[in-house]
Structure 1
């Protein structure tokens, strides 16, 4: 309907819908699917939300809506990008599969019906589209040297390769997230592309305007270069001028000889996204909705339209509609054509399969020096046959080359995941799980029936993984290797802040609303949370803001790089997918993420990082250095009783995978005594077993409280090691094979169906087959249904036994190190930060509680890393290193260490010899690193402030710059002030715990160490060191409080959480009153009330005492006394709103000095 568009906002004004209630946006056709007889149309210009901050709908929504509207085809044409096309491709494939199976499919809320049964709201009997729309892959090319944009639609695979290569060229010229395309790039790579020109709207073709003449000349030039492939795009704007606009565009087509084609220039799949489109415009332009002016959409018409509506719009130009169908027929390329060849040059001329067989045999001889067991040889023979059939030998050789390189450089690495089900991976040294450790199910890793590429994940030391990454680039070249992308989405906190800012809400209000959102939550704020803040959720502006927040959550914000997934190709990678520069120097990233390449069957190698591997290697080095013992993962003593005794006591701070509060609570109940117990420990406190109701049956059977039921010999072999309770994905597959008669390939399809049944609803057929198969083999119906219910319960989150076993190796290694070399282990943990569950303060405290000395930072003793020093009694003490000082550069620390000699007598000598800037000296003084010179913090700061020059000058090498500093009698710092500065600089204190200082002012509290003997009703107060909200805990929050005597584990049930939401999320010092729950040596406090005592942390020092401010000005200058709670002008704790010498806001001091580690 042409002349129904509403006008846009005036310059500087806001859109007309602001302040109005809910109403429908758009013309009546939006509420129905309008399919007039014989009308056909293909939409060739669709911008999705992968044109970041522009498109207002997901690619999946676009193709689902196109299917409902009956479009012949739909082209995804994002700006200089192919990032969203695979999602559209996958959505259409899912719709096609779903319609074939059941009649309707839901894609991101869009319900797509079976075309054979579709009716519209005017009754039955109307024609329906005979098939789903075909996806046309394309891009909207924007150039730095031409105002004319071009839609580029490849007609075949070669044209697609040229388009991808051209986009890569533009992206590699520019910084991350940008694309610098030149018109010459299109002229060089345009063969085989359908090119639809989009001249700027403000151009006036035919006038004596130089720009208009240039536009016409460029259109003619492109027509000469690519005859028959160039078209002129025409799109309505629904502003009352469309008839004239389209007529003018038709005249331009006649003058240039370039045929006109109809476009919708779509930004959204549905009219209701208009407001969100305007918000995205504001985010892109950096303005509020009240200042968007003419940049706002004038109406909601830039949405997908039914063919009949487009035909009415172009009723004066019917050929423009017909050309959309002609172009769609010519664009035959499909993403299914992207054949992928893995590189094979690692074979050095030897056929990949033969080389793999040879290396496997050599590896078996190394792994089994006394001879390989027969059953292992049979598994190897089967694996080699499947690998040969599927043609994946080169993939295994590539992974083997990467692992071999890492080990040649002394980089600790280990494969994990389903790859540990492969004996070949074990023989090659990719994985470390021996075949007799677990029940290897190769079909979990790869199978002939599935025919999909395997997925091998390898962990490397996190500090040295970059060496491995650069080796891959050097070996294969950047034109053949790239990291996969990760899509960064809007989550609740970012959505609240960004949308709220656009809607004109104040910073304070947004901070308050955001503070009620938990971590990476994907939900908009609730009415209750707004009422809790004293806000009116029915306020129109606020209500609209919340609606928009809910809509934008899940929208892509930008692309980042995957944690380590590499795609490596035999040919050019940039002909498979566009490549762009990463933010980090020396890295390049493809536009597609893990799910995209999985959907297309493209192999990737996961080069992942794991901090615990770094820690273990550093611990081995420290032990070799100080004890002369040489350990590695292969020669550690096995099944050490002392190590298991330690774990049974839940003494596991710092131990890999079992240091969470839930794992530590389970250890005394589990009482691990052998390696396989650790495999179960790793896997059982996971979403799958918890949701499947398997934890309690397993532990009850392990403790003899419940009978172990194994109803058949076949199931005994599968379930005996787990007390008759299925805990692993491999067991679900094995049960299907031995008890229900599935083939291994069918069992793998069952596993994959279990993983997606909540989303796809594809489990019904398998359930009938499974239960029927068990009944046919003599099992009774209740038992068969129980078996299926158990494996169904954990299907979506099931944990592979192979993955658990790989991690269990590191659990044992880290536990052994903690038990037998605690100082070396803690030193290595600190030198490997950031990693793990606990902050350095808790790691240091744990070492002290085990009776080991921890020495402070010293300019005359410390190095960059934390180190070990031998005590007179032969024990090892931990010396804190310069790396613990916040903001100190490693380069400065290296100079201090290199120039130290026999020690520095004073601050000035350190400055002169090491040549570090006064700013670095100030950081050392704040960290109390000059204590060996008998200088306290204030004396050291006074001395540092006397140094003016950034570096010493040779002229004054022996004269001290000619300045004689007067001595100052500075007041001594209180213990509380010392602790504050310790945490400020080091994030830990060796002097005292904050609760030790605060406790005298907080009567009626029970210390954590006394909870074992106290009454059940208690009040506990402590620093929040961790917060957990597992997705499987039904909204339960787990908090760990720490006081000067130990830790207290707190359970916050949902009702209590809702009452004290903001305190639970944001508090740093909490007082929690509740009842104790004691069970098998584990104590939990069940919270009833939660109080925020974070303000008390602002009073650790003595208020009201006056002192000279030693951090401002020269040492020979005196200043007005300032209260001790005031901190220097550039201090990170200064209030943002304060002036010179601003006071610390108590909330900010607690948040910055005592941060918690929160896990979601």
Structure 2
């Protein structure tokens, strides 16, 4: 591949076979063979310039017997921690370096051709000062994210301490002279290359002449880009991706041959047989470069403490003050645990770390920002006493060693969940508190997955964009992140659209579709009918026979897992005592006022760098807003405000709601799987919620723990234990190990592990880079259990269970922290559903469901929801009096009159009444049909309206805010907020023109508002409002000046119900008037299609039809290819289980927003599902275009 598109054969020398060359490329250096160290090697972390992972390069260099390897990625140190760890495992001497791009000057190459964009110099770190210089240089080179990284010679001269430079033949003499002057002759070598290219031979001549002229030594380097010869094809693809070319177009942009790999030493020695001193020089230089990341100089910042105090003494004081407030009384057990933890913290010199985290929590308290610690930190009584976490680890029986131990060898990990809309304030506080040069975010390495690999390889191979898109989308999502699963994914590719479509009973489809189209579309044109048929073109069949597919599959498999680009970690923040660039590289993030250390969390942990996770959590934002509303109501009644920790811990009505799986919007238990589990688990105490949170996870599912636990809880299976000694550990979870802490305790009790060894086992089992370590510890665990008297069969079953959930299972502490938020959000939803809905909508994006689902569910529970209206809405969603207009931007006589007229024309609908298009309106606090049953997920009966909810909540309706209008994004927010504020001084808006003038929005936004009905106060008909906007654009200068020619006024008719629904979903994503299925219900009923509520009453095995809006599609990797779809109608939810063959036949239909399903009823333990046998798109998407769903997560 490379020869064809690279240099011609005239520009390449034949490769003579050196005498005695080893036949096996992986054979180590034979006795007596010359030594060699590769000093110029770029990995895949040069991002599209190298084709091998650093681990692969280290392993290959070690196998070839190299004396050392220098990793010199371009303008970065991205792979340094990984290469360091791999070299330690292999016993290979690693040299840290970079290939630095020098700022371009007006010059030409030594051979007279124009210079490339940059000249490059290889820099190697000789000592700790050299590493510091590398960090500062690459940080400065990348400081301006708007341009490619380059370094001026002056900067390099100023930061040359501890560095050794390798200069290639392309550098001009003036640049060479400047570098020799700044580095000194003893720290500059001239690099010799021989990749069987004539340009390398010419370069050698130039270098020899320069060496003689300047008195500089020569050294052999390979300019390596990949580990093995076979990797050349992948490098060609990456080069095409980098240059945005196909292989046929790339020509000399590709490497001319495969000699840019790690080559056998004897081959290199033969090529440089005329320069043995240059070969030996490579080893000499490698030995000079003594710096190792084992001597890494990172220091956590000190913390300013009161005079006369030390960090340890101050921490002791804060802990005991907090413990006295939280533990009442302070029992000997509490005091002993605190003493144990504090002693370990002091031995590990971590007092400053805990003080810093405590300081961040105190800042959140001062600023009224809701935050809560979670994860393994909740295992610590010190964290609980400091107010970092909210779960008492002693009361829960949690294991401290899961959080911190001397044997662990890694820093502790404290995660702080912060209300996500306030998180940026906390991050900026950390930057300001410790200085921007001492604080930065951690990075996340985004790697190629199956789909992205197929896209990039396909483009390089010359597939058309439509073919590449079709190929990528045809890969099953459950294989997308799995390199080994790509062949299986490929076998599932479906190129023919004909094989994707299954026929649902013709009489039903024809009957229903014909009626539905007529009923919903009204007089609209049916030009979107084909939209839901999927993106399958007739050309797909040709792809199946294309021989390039085999090559694409092979190369895409090699590309999977390689780094694609860097991203910022979701919350990991690093703070340092000295400037960060003294110890690590730093570069600007894509977001303003953010900097990032370009290493991921595993890299940081391996180097002992302490990371504080400051994570944004949408539910905390929603809870904070809801508690604020409830507190204002309480204060108006003379009651104290309600805080998070004051939410009542027990409430029968909330437990009933949870047991009924009536949990849309409730934290962590609103997914389909959780809702199916809730009726079976039937939680009645806090620990039940802890189990619920942890149970529906990949680990327990893979370990086959879910169904045994539920059977034992229901009394259908006897509780038993693998061994009597394990009963105290597993009693609370009925003999089934569910939590990581239980696995650790089993290792301690049954196999004689220390707590530190047990934590090492947990990390080894769940660590993606540690298979050998995992195997060794797993064998040790099995041996220990057998020695402890546990039968082999039981010991192997325990080991399999622990292995299954070690990576994905929750720590018990993490589940307990989340369970607390489950309870608080459930309590708020049950007692204050209107305030809770308003808070959820204002906290978007967050949660599992689209706003339309949240609104429909709240309406079924008696909450009045009102549409967007520029005369009544603010920017955010708001609460207003059910009886009148309160809380909007304007509550004038005009607004009141307009509101009344709207209620007559389009009354709000209680979508759960099941009355189809004739459903009665919701009124007051309850609504028609209050108290009647509707199905929740799984067909569990739920109460339609919370009739006994808080009086203040019942007296309020939710008014949708302008933030929900599509097209009104962040760039419009300031203008719209200013316009809304002007109502207080200039009065309410008097016309569409007045609103446009004050807000500064353009014609497109005004059209959106008109289509949505938000201008109804100025024009009672939506089409009339659209006409007015067009006329306004013609008449007025300013933001609406992009006008159409004047048109004569015409008599405009009303939009049909279907058209209004369509506009509601397209422009706002939600309709508050009526559910689309309520409109379709008369036609569906005539065709024998059941509602979601009626489905719950059907017998096991009965064949039925059900229809609804697809609000959730999932195909979890643990489900054996099953697809789960949730449909919503005006009465509730219906669960579909789609078998793989049905999903394959109806792949296009599965994407449709409105589905009709035929199948058999499955009912057990109060949960009803429909096992689908046939599936079709019910109609075109005209009535619900823009409806969002939760797909395949």
- If the length of structure 1 is used for normalisation, what is the TM-score? 0.85
Name the residue aligned to 1:198. Answer: 168
Does structure 1 residue 1010 correspond to structure 2 residue 1094?
Answer: yes
Distance (Å, rounded) in 2 between the aligned partners of 1:190 and 1:496 = 43
Instruction: Choose from 508, 529, 544 the match for 2:493.
Output: 529
SS at match of 2:83: helix
Farther-moved stretch of structure 1 (699-708 vs 861-870):
699-708
Does structure 1 residue 799 correspond to structure 2 residue 810?
Answer: yes
Does structure 1 residue 313 correspond to structure 2 residue 393?
Answer: no
Distance (Å, rounded) in 1 between the aligned partners of 2:1036 and 2:412 = 57
Name the residue aligned to 2:233. Answer: 275
Contact 2:315-2:355 at 8 Å conserved across structures: yes
Name the residue aligned to 2:1022. Answer: 937
Instruction: Choose from 554, 564, 568 the match for 1:561.
Output: 568
SS at match of 1:932: coil
SS at match of 2:587: strand
Farther-moved stretch of structure 1 (892-901 vs 394-403):
892-901
The one of the two structures with greater contact order (alpha-carbon pairs below 8 A, sep at least 6) is 2
Does structure 1 residue 367 correspond to structure 2 residue 326?
Answer: yes
Distance (Å, rounded) in 1 between the aligned partners of 2:1046 and 2:752 = 92
Farther-moved stretch of structure 1 (619-628 vs 586-595):
619-628
Instruction: Choose from 1000, 1003, 1007 the match for 1:922.
Output: 1007
Contact 1:176-1:583 at 8 Å conserved across structures: no
Name the residue aligned to 1:1105. Answer: none
Contact 1:346-1:397 at 8 Å conserved across structures: no
SS at match of 1:345: coil
Contact 2:5-2:247 at 8 Å conserved across structures: no
Does structure 1 residue 681 correspond to structure 2 residue 692?
Answer: yes
Instruction: Choose from 310, 315, 328 the match for 1:351.
Output: 310
Distance (Å, rounded) in 2 between the aligned partners of 1:790 and 1:1021 = 40
Q: 1:779 to 1:153 in 2, by over 3 A?
A: closer
Distance (Å, rounded) in 1 between the aligned partners of 2:140 and 2:294 = 24
**Per-residue CA distance 1:407-463 (angstroms, 9 max, x = gap):** 110000000000000000000000000234411211110112223211001010111
Name the residue aligned to 2:915. Answer: none
SS at match of 1:1009: helix
Distance (Å, rounded) in 1 between the aligned partners of 2:783 and 2:469 = 57
**Per-residue CA distance 1:618-638 (angstroms, 9 max, x = gap):** 111122234546212111111
Distance (Å, rounded) in 1 between the aligned partners of 2:455 and 2:140 = 35
Q: 1:964 to 1:1053 in 2, by over 3 A?
A: closer
Name the residue aligned to 1:217. Answer: 177
Distance (Å, rounded) in 2 between the aligned partners of 1:589 and 1:948 = 46
Farther-moved stretch of structure 1 (718-727 vs 587-596):
718-727
Contact 1:915-1:952 at 8 Å conserved across structures: no
Provide the aligned length of Structure 1 versus Structure 2.
1036
Distance (Å, rounded) in 2 between the aligned partners of 1:1089 and 1:834 = 34
- Give, in angstroms, the shift of residue 774 of structure 1: 4.9
- Give, in angstroms, the shift of residue 699 of structure 1: 1.4
Instruction: Choose from 22, 27, 35 the match for 1:33.
Output: 27
SS at match of 1:463: helix
Does structure 1 residue 813 correspond to structure 2 residue 824?
Answer: yes
- Give, in angstroms, the shift of residue 1035 of structure 1: 2.9
**Per-residue CA distance 1:272-312 (angstroms, 9 max, x = gap):** 22222222222222222221122122211111111111111
Name the residue aligned to 1:1137. Answer: none
Runs (5+) with no aligned partner, structure 1: 17-26, 97-131, 204-211, 1101-1149
Instruction: Choose from 143, 150, 156 the match for 1:186.
Output: 156
SS at match of 1:292: helix
Distance (Å, rounded) in 2 between the aligned partners of 1:712 and 1:292 = 65
- Give, in angstroms, the shift of residue 965 of structure 1: 9.6
Does structure 1 residue 463 correspond to structure 2 residue 421?
Answer: yes
**Per-residue CA distance 1:338-383 (angstroms, 9 max, x = gap):** 0332111333452111111000011012213x42122111110110
Distance (Å, rounded) in 1 between the aligned partners of 2:578 and 2:481 = 41
Does structure 1 residue 1022 correspond to structure 2 residue 1029?
Answer: no
Farther-moved stretch of structure 1 (607-616 vs 334-343):
334-343
Distance (Å, rounded) in 2 between the aligned partners of 1:936 and 1:379 = 70
Q: 1:694 to 1:476 in 2, by over 3 A?
A: same
Distance (Å, rounded) in 2 between the aligned partners of 1:694 and 1:597 = 33
Name the residue aligned to 1:1096. Answer: 1180
Distance (Å, rounded) in 2 between the aligned partners of 1:787 and 1:56 = 41
Contact 2:1018-2:1025 at 8 Å conserved across structures: no
- Give, in angstroms, the shift of residue 1030 of structure 1: 2.3
- Give, in angstroms, the shift of residue 1046 of structure 1: 2.5
Contact 1:40-1:308 at 8 Å conserved across structures: no
After superposition, where does 1:985-1064 map in structure 2 within 5 Å?
A: 985-997=1067-1079, 1003-1014=1087-1098, 1016-1064=1102-1150
- Give, in angstroms, the shift of residue 707 of structure 1: 1.9
Does structure 1 residue 896 correspond to structure 2 residue 979?
Answer: yes
SS at match of 1:931: coil
Name the residue aligned to 1:570. Answer: 577
**Per-residue CA distance 1:79-122 (angstroms, 9 max, x = gap):** 110001211112233x44xxxxxxxxxxxxxxxxxxxxxxxxxx
Contact 1:57-1:268 at 8 Å conserved across structures: yes
Does structure 1 residue 667 correspond to structure 2 residue 627?
Answer: no
SS at match of 1:346: coil
Contact 2:420-2:620 at 8 Å conserved across structures: yes
Distance (Å, rounded) in 2 between the aligned partners of 1:279 and 1:64 = 23
- Give, in angstroms, the shift of residue 486 of structure 1: 1.0
Farther-moved stretch of structure 1 (467-476 vs 1005-1014):
1005-1014
Q: 1:924 to 1:352 in 2, by over 3 A?
A: same
SS at match of 2:493: helix
Name the residue aligned to 2:61. Answer: 66
Name the residue aligned to 1:1143. Answer: none
Name the residue aligned to 2:1063. Answer: 981
**Per-residue CA distance 1:563-608 (angstroms, 9 max, x = gap):** 1111111112111111111111111111111111011111111111
Contact 1:911-1:952 at 8 Å conserved across structures: no
Name the residue aligned to 1:743. Answer: 754
Name the residue aligned to 1:114. Answer: none
**Per-residue CA distance 1:1100-1150 (angstroms, 9 max, x = gap):** 4xxxxxxxxxxxxxxxxxxxxxxxxxxxxxxxxxxxxxxxxxxxxxxxxx7
Q: 1:190 to 1:984 in 2, by over 3 A?
A: same
SS at match of 2:40: strand
Distance (Å, rounded) in 1 between the aligned partners of 2:1107 and 2:465 = 31
SS at match of 2:603: helix
- Give, in angstroms, the shift of residue 998 of structure 1: 5.5
Q: 1:301 to 1:259 in 2, by over 3 A?
A: same
Distance (Å, rounded) in 2 between the aligned partners of 1:535 and 1:1083 = 43
Distance (Å, rounded) in 2 between the aligned partners of 1:177 and 1:1083 = 58
Contact 1:1040-1:1050 at 8 Å conserved across structures: yes
- Give, in angstroms, the shift of residue 502 of structure 1: 2.6
Name the residue aligned to 1:122. Answer: none
Contact 2:128-2:162 at 8 Å conserved across structures: no
After superposition, where does 1:318-717 map in structure 2 within 5 Å?
A: 318-348=276-306, 350-368=309-327, 370-519=328-477, 520-522=480-482, 524=486, 526-532=490-496, 533-537=540-544, 539-628=546-635, 630-709=641-720, 715-717=726-728
Contact 1:79-1:141 at 8 Å conserved across structures: yes
Q: 1:951 to 1:402 in 2, by over 3 A?
A: farther
**Per-residue CA distance 1:455-484 (angstroms, 9 max, x = gap):** 001010111100010111111112111101
Contact 1:53-1:284 at 8 Å conserved across structures: yes
Over the aligned positions, Cα root-mean-square deviation in angstroms equals 2.9
Q: 1:500 to 1:767 in 2, by over 3 A?
A: closer
Contact 2:311-2:351 at 8 Å conserved across structures: yes
Contact 1:487-1:557 at 8 Å conserved across structures: yes
Q: 1:56 to 1:711 in 2, by over 3 A?
A: closer
**Per-residue CA distance 1:536-568 (angstroms, 9 max, x = gap):** 545233332332222222222221111111111
Farther-moved stretch of structure 1 (813-822 vs 253-262):
253-262
SS at match of 1:287: coil
SS at match of 1:426: helix
Contact 1:70-1:133 at 8 Å conserved across structures: no
Name the residue aligned to 1:878. Answer: 958
- Give, in angstroms, the shift of residue 701 of structure 1: 1.6
Distance (Å, rounded) in 2 between the aligned partners of 1:149 and 1:768 = 49
Name the residue aligned to 1:118. Answer: none
Contact 2:322-2:385 at 8 Å conserved across structures: yes
Contact 2:588-2:594 at 8 Å conserved across structures: yes
Distance (Å, rounded) in 2 between the aligned partners of 1:1051 and 1:475 = 53
